[in-house]
Amino acid sequence: MVVDVIRWLEQGDHSAIVQPFHDPIVPSGGACPKCGKRMGLHGSMATGRGRETVCPGDYILTEPNGERRPERPKAFSKLYEKIIKEPTKTVSSKKEGDPE
C-alpha cells in the first residue's frame, strides 16, 4: 500500500489539514502526554476516528481511500518504508571517493 505522507512540524504547515490545537480542558501550556512538548505547539486534525492531536514532527498520512491520520515518527518508520524521490543529479555530481 502506498500512502501519501506530509511531515507536520509547526503551526502553519499544511493548515488545510492541521488546525491549531485547541481544547477547553487541556491548557496550551501543558505538556503533551505523547511527546512532552507544550500543547500550544500542537495541531489537531479530523480523522476517521474523530479529531486527533498532531504532535510537532508527526507524519500526516493519506491512505488510498482518502483517509488521513497522524502517525508518530517512530511508529511511522516501523510501519512504512520511505520512498524518496530525489531530483536527478546531472551536472555537479561527484564521483565516489573524490576528495572534498
- The secondary structure of residue 33, as a DSSP letter, is T
Residue 37's nearest CA partner among 7, 11, 5, 75 is 11
At a CB cut-off of 8 Å and minimum separation 6, what does 8 contact? 14, 17, 18, 43, 54, 56, 57, 58, 59, 60, 70
d(CA 67, CA 40): 25
Footprint on residues 8-37 left by Zn ion (CB under 5 A): 32, 34-35
Number of residues that bind Zn ion (CB under 5 A): 4
Closest CB 40 distance from Zn ion, rounded Å: 11
Interface characters, 36-75, with Zn ion (x: CB under 5 A): -------------------x--------------------
Closest CB 33 distance from Zn ion, rounded Å: 8
- The residue (of 33 and 97) whose beta carbon lies closer to Zn ion is 33
Contacting positions for Zn ion (CB under 5 A): 32, 34-35, 55
